[in-house]
Amino acid sequence: MSELPITVGFDGSDFALEALRKGLSLGSRLGLPVRVIRAWSISNAPRPKTWSPGYVPPVEEFAAAVSEQLESQIAGLLDEYPQVEVRVEVPHGAAGRELIKASEDSELIVVGTRGSGGFSGLLLGSVTDQIVEHAKCDVLVTRRRCGDPAPPRTLQLDSAIDGE
């Protein structure tokens, strides 16, 4: 059997949590490592502790802040799968591009139907669509276990469109 990892795209959304849960479950059953990737840009990264008005910290400090946030967000789920070897990566770049790159040395890519961006009516997000179209390995798109497959969004754009 391959020792390539199962790679999970994670952006902090409920959809990404479902994808991580499925990736960890598969990793546990198949005895494969799991790689969790959170691609980021300056515009969607948490502010580093050294950030202050008029000072933009170096990219490495943004990467550290993204890594810290990611590890905090996934810690609970990782505790449920202590037998799974997990590696976290936080590449600086567009999510679709970084996950497609990661697919070159992955057994499987696992992503949610949508992520934290986009419009509330979308059933398949743009990043997921890119990965399904261009990945170099199989792709598993997970669905939410129950409830609305497209829960209310928290982005201002959705609120403006919905008239809230």
Query: What's the total number of domains in the chain?
Result: 1
Structural domain boundaries enclosing 46: 6-162
pLDDT of residue 115: 56
Tokens of 8: 């999970």
61: domain CATH number is: 3.40.50.620
**What's the pTM value of the predicted model, to 2 decimals?**
0.81
Per-residue pLDDT tens digits for 87-131:
999 999 999 999 999 999 999 999 988 555 554 444 456 788 889
In a domain, 33, yes or no: yes
CB 110 within 8 A of CB 137: no
Per-residue pLDDT tens digits for 3-58:
899 999 999 988 899 999 999 999 999 999 999 999 999 888 999 999 999 998 99
Q: What percent of the chain has pLDDT over 70?
A: 78
Question: 3-state SS of the chain?
Answer: CCCCCEEEECCCCHHHHHHHHHHHHHHHHHCCCEEEECCECCCCCCCCCCCECCECCCHHHHHHHHHHHHHHHHHHHHHCCCCCCEEEECCECCHHHHHHHHHCCCCEEEEECCCCCCCCCCCCCHHHHHHHHHCCCEEEEECCCCCCCCCCCCCHHHHHHHCC
In a domain, 1, yes or no: no
Beta-sheet strand order (sheet of 108-112): 86-89, 34-37, 6-9, 108-112, 138-142
